Amino acid sequence: MTRDNRTVFNYLRIHYDELLSHCSAGEEPLALAMVAYAPGNEEIGEEPSGVTFDLNGLSVENWERGLDRLLVGDTLFAPEGGMAMKLRQAALGQPELLLTSHRLVALEGFLASEEGTVVAWSCPLEDVATVRHNPRFLQAGRMLVIFEDGSAIRLMAGVVSAKRARRLAEEFHRLTGR
């Protein structure tokens, strides 16, 4: 396949038949990106208090949280049981994140392998508020997924190249207008 006179490997087209096998009738694969979840600062459940009672008001936990925010950033905000928590669990296994015409799907396993892939997690697009390319220094492929329940997760779809993260986010916006 060529695009603007340069060769592009389109993994969605290469693995289209296998990806289509995970779709229901009338549903089609639109974008694909292998993702990873790198834990940074995670806000789970209630917002933590900013007050500490350690010597001089400084706690090791606050220092660690600050360092996580500096190096990796905020990676998860979710109430217990929120959609982002469920995707986080699947993303720890570095799945393929597949955007279809109806769902966002995490596929576990390897494409084109004998074992194939299985759906580790999925949700209807109505439950996804937005998918954004959200790059950061040394994290070109970072993306942000925000759910309608208010939870959010940042995933990595490439360190050097932002192509897959950008493609997934653009296709989500084109499809949903969000």
How confident is the model over 78-92, as pLDDT tens digits?
888 899 999 999 999
Query: Is residue 52's pLDDT more than 50?
Result: no
Instruction: Return the domain boundaries, the chain.
Output: 10-45+53-176
What pLDDT does residue 15 have? 94
Q: Considering only residues 30 and 9, tell me which one the structure prediction assigns the higher pLDDT.
A: 30
As assigned by CATH, the class of the 10-45+53-176 domain is: mainly beta
What pLDDT does residue 4 have? 46
Q: What are phi and psi of 129, to 5 degrees?
A: -75, -45
How confident is the model over 93-143, as pLDDT tens digits?
999 999 999 999 999 999 989 999 999 999 999 999 999 999 988 889 999
Q: Which residues face 100 on adjacent strands?
A: 29
